[in-house]
């Protein structure tokens, strides 16, 4: 007797369950597109580049663009450093975290500014960042009541490094003189070339360990840690 072949319908894949597609992978692809042209970014273009439908992308980020931006920041800090270990020197650990973060943001001024914007809105956005920093601050011997303000001071020190480094690069639109009126913007017209020159220097920015070390020294002084 010939065997009867029964054709069973393949189970439909739920939106967002495409093999290998994770929030992190989507966030990394989105970061690349946002950095290339933030104004032209859309979930539709992102989905097309990933070979999926917009519904698939949105199923991973039900909070929309804000949710996606938050995930981009989380990914940056998830890969910024290893967890703090009790036998590590706390200030050295924070220095390493700063250096790795600046390295991740190198050549990404738009993402650098996004990082500051999202962390300012929610300082505990990336659970790994505060967990690692708080552990190192505690190891410095700070009193429990001083830990929270010390965490804020640490973030501010990091923000200062980001603004003076990877976030310095201006957009192309900012250097376009076509829309400038000398009568309305005399100072801008006068100093535009100097600003553009500053932009060119910013584009060549590289992480400077000595600058980070100096920032850590100022932070330790502010926290009154000898």
pTM across the whole model: 0.80
Predicted pLDDT at 33: 96
Task: Tell me how far apart the alpha carbons of residues 173 and 179 are, in angstroms, rounded to a whole number.
Answer: 10
Computed over every residue of the chain, the mean pLDDT equals 85
- pLDDT interval class at 16 (50, 70, 90): very low
Task: Tell me how far apart the alpha carbons of residues 27 and 115 are, in angstroms, rounded to a whole number.
Answer: 13
Q: What is the pLDDT of residues 93-144, one digit of tens each?
A: 999 999 999 999 988 999 999 999 999 999 999 888 999 999 999 999 999 9
Predicted pLDDT at 184: 77
Kindly state the percentage of the chain with pLDDT values over 90: 60
Predicted pLDDT at 135: 93
- pLDDT interval class at 80 (50, 70, 90): confident
Task: Tell me how far apart the alpha carbons of residues 33 and 194 are, in angstroms, rounded to a whole number.
Answer: 29
Task: Tell me how far apart the alpha carbons of residues 96 and 64 are, in angstroms, rounded to a whole number.
Answer: 33
- pLDDT interval class at 225 (50, 70, 90): confident
Distance from the first to the final alpha carbon of the chain: 88
The tokens for 148 are 């929270």
The least confident of 36-50, 99-113, 182-196 is 182-196
Kindly state the percentage of the chain with pLDDT values over 70: 83
Torsion angle of C-alpha atoms 24, 28, 31, 36, degrees rounded to 10: -160
Q: Is the pLDDT of residue 223 over 50?
A: yes
Q: Is the pLDDT of residue 173 over 60?
A: no
Element (H, E) at 70: helix 64-78
129 and 143 Cβ atoms separated by less than 8 Å: no
The least confident of 29-33, 43-47, 104-108, 209-213 is 104-108
What 213-220 contacts at long range (C-beta under 8 Å, 24+ apart), as own/partner pairs, is 213/95, 215/98, 215/157, 215/160, 215/161, 216/91, 216/94, 216/95, 216/98, 216/157, 218/157, 219/94, 219/153, 219/154, 219/157, 220/91
Q: What is the DSSP secondary-structure string of 5-67?
A: PPPPPPPPPPTT--TT--HHHHHHHHHHHHHH-GGG--HHHHHHHHTS-HHHHHHH-TTHHHH
Phi and psi at residue 127, in whole multiples of 5°?
-60, -30
Tokens 């981009």 — which residue? 72
Element (H, E) at 172: none
Task: Tell me how far apart the alpha carbons of residues 143 and 224 are, in angstroms, rounded to a whole number.
Answer: 11
Q: What is the pLDDT of residues 53-76, one digit of tens each?
A: 999 999 999 999 999 999 999 998
Give Cα 199 distance to the centre of its chain: 21
- pLDDT interval class at 82 (50, 70, 90): confident
Task: Tell me how far apart the alpha carbons of residues 164 and 216 are, in angstroms, rounded to a whole number.
Answer: 15
């Amino acid at each position: 007797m010939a065997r009867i072949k029964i054709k069973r319908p393949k189970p439909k894949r739920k939106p967002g369950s495409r093999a290998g597609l994770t929030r992190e992978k989507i966030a990394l692809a989105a970061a690349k597109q946002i950095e290339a042209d933030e104004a032209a970014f859309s979930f539709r273009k992102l989905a097309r580049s990933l070979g999926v439908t917009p519904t698939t992308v949105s199923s991973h980020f039900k909070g929309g663009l804000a949710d996606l931006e938050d995930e981009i920041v989380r990914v940056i800090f998830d890969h910024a450093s290893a967890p703090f270990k009790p036998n590590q020197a706390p200030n050295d650990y924070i220095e390493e975290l700063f250096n790795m973060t600046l390295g991740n943001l190198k050549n990404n001024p738009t993402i650098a500014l996004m990082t500051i914007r999202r962390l300012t809105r929610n300082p505990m956005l990336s659970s790994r960042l505060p967990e690692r920093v708080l552990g190192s601050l505690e190891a410095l011997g700070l009193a429990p009541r001083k830990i929270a303000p010390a965490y804020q001071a640490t973030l501010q020190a990091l923000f200062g490094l980001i603004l003076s480094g990877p976030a310095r690069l201006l957009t192309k639109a900012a250097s376009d003189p076509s829309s400038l009126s000398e009568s309305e913007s005399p100072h801008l017209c006068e100093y535009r070339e100097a600003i553009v020159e500053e932009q060119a220097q910013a584009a060549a920015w590289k992480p400077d360990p000595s600058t980070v070390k100096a920032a850590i020294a100022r932070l330790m002084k502010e926290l009154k840690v000898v």
